[in-house]
Structure 1
Amino acid sequence: MRYPAVAGSFYPVGEELKEMLESFFGDLGEVGSERKITAGVSPHAGYIFSGYTASRIFKAIYEDGLPETFVIIGPNHTGLGSPIAIYPKGKWATPLGEINVDSELAKTIAKHSQMADLDETAHTYEHSIEVQLPFIQYIAEKAGSEVKIVPITLGLQDEEIAEDLGKAIFEASQELGRDVVVIASTDMMHYGPVYGYVPFRARADDLLGRIKEWDFRIIRQILNLDYKEMFKELKEMDHTMCGPGGVATAIVYSRLAKAVEAELLYYTTSFDVSRSTDAIVGYASIVMRR
């Protein structure tokens, strides 16, 4: 059992969590059955900052139809464990209950990958995957579905790893006949002294415009399903997006799964809530479809 590491800090517990999710999903439509969605990009900050943005991808998945398994890929912020760590088996707990790990799929992904390890340690305190789970649990309960998860953390993030892991997820899903959606957990630009990144000083309006410009250069490449250009843009701008490897993996998987388009569902920044320029983070919710 993997117990919550950030419940009560990144997201609330008890009735407060349920009420917050209800407010996020107040416009939820009917559960769908099309299953065109192959992957999504979702932020992983505190719910007060990015929760609504994250809810948009899970709303889209609910209305498209839930998969059997969510493969959730997040950056490894802690440095613990294997550089590419697949959680092997068992359950993850949140204040909403428990969710099963798809151990068969996890082992099959590891078998097809040349780089990934089956490793629990990397997941012990990592928040980037945990914060996605209440959204999944909420829509699964609404749909009356029992979905599973495969959590994967990335301590290394580059094109080679994304190509290996995206291909391994696709091949494993094909081998097992498993219906999968990949969730890439990432925040966008991190700006401010809190993050040690202050390339220039400006008024709030000008600063937000610049951050949005930087983020949308990256978002444009994600919408083009072009992870190579995404990495080029990241390097050129010295962009501080924290989960490019997961996003690239989602693109690789989606292209193999015959995705033909991507759509930006929502974009915002932490400034909308904090009103502070000491630490500004961008958040995007993106869906990829066949």
Structure 2
Amino acid sequence: MTGQHPAEIDTSRPHPARMYDWYLGGKDNYPVDEAMGRQMLALDPRVPVMARVNRAFMQRATRWLAGHGVRQFLDIGTGIPTEPNLHQVAQGIVPDARVVYCDNDPIVLAHAAALLRGTDEGVTEYLQADVREPDAILEGARKILDFDEPIALSLIALLHFVPDEDGAHELVGRLLAALPSGSHLVVTHATADFTPEESRAATEKLRAAGVTLALRSREEFTRFFDGLDLVDPGVRVPHEWHPELGDPVTGQDDGVIPGYGAVARKP
């Protein structure tokens, strides 16, 4: 593993990666994460469905990319390992695929060994870094990935935790600028477009707990793909992007899952 450094796990306030783990039924979370997760459920019972839908989108997008010749993946905001992980999906199609995971949560570092069990032919590595440190991420990724060949940059359920004050669009632009032609950007993002009142209440709850949530509109989400060629069917709610049998489904009472997902190619 590269770029790692020891850090204490802060269990005094909830962390998005650990809350996500709780929504998915995992055990790598703490009471503070479950408590906030339950508050979010009280505001919107679809939250666990949203977590599963995001996970399924990542797997479908990875299969699509690997099936279209992409052999390198940079996944930022990896989260706590939940099988199948991105490298398992990619290397199941392209055994020699190279995958770099990146996250800023020490609990992910503690479980990084599970992320590194890939194929003998492929390469799987982990970087301990924050999306707000694009230069550090790129420096670490260059040691593992060939930046003369296409790379898929994956930002799943991450950017809504990066407010405009931190320059979310600029950060994505800096990462993309380093990638060669033929690379792809993969993003899912929460929105308040469909459930403004519930989303506003959730944002306020999380802010009070020290977690920033920047819900963006369809137009703001689409801006992340400026200068890129969107892969059909373009910007969609995540479960409508190339749906497959066996994916999590939304019930009639769930309504629209409040998020967007898309994949785009760098010309």
Q: TM-score, normalised by structure 2?
A: 0.39
- Bigger relative contact order, structure 1 or 2 (CA pairs below 8 A, ≥6 apart): 1
Report the structure, 1 or 2, having the larger strand content: 1
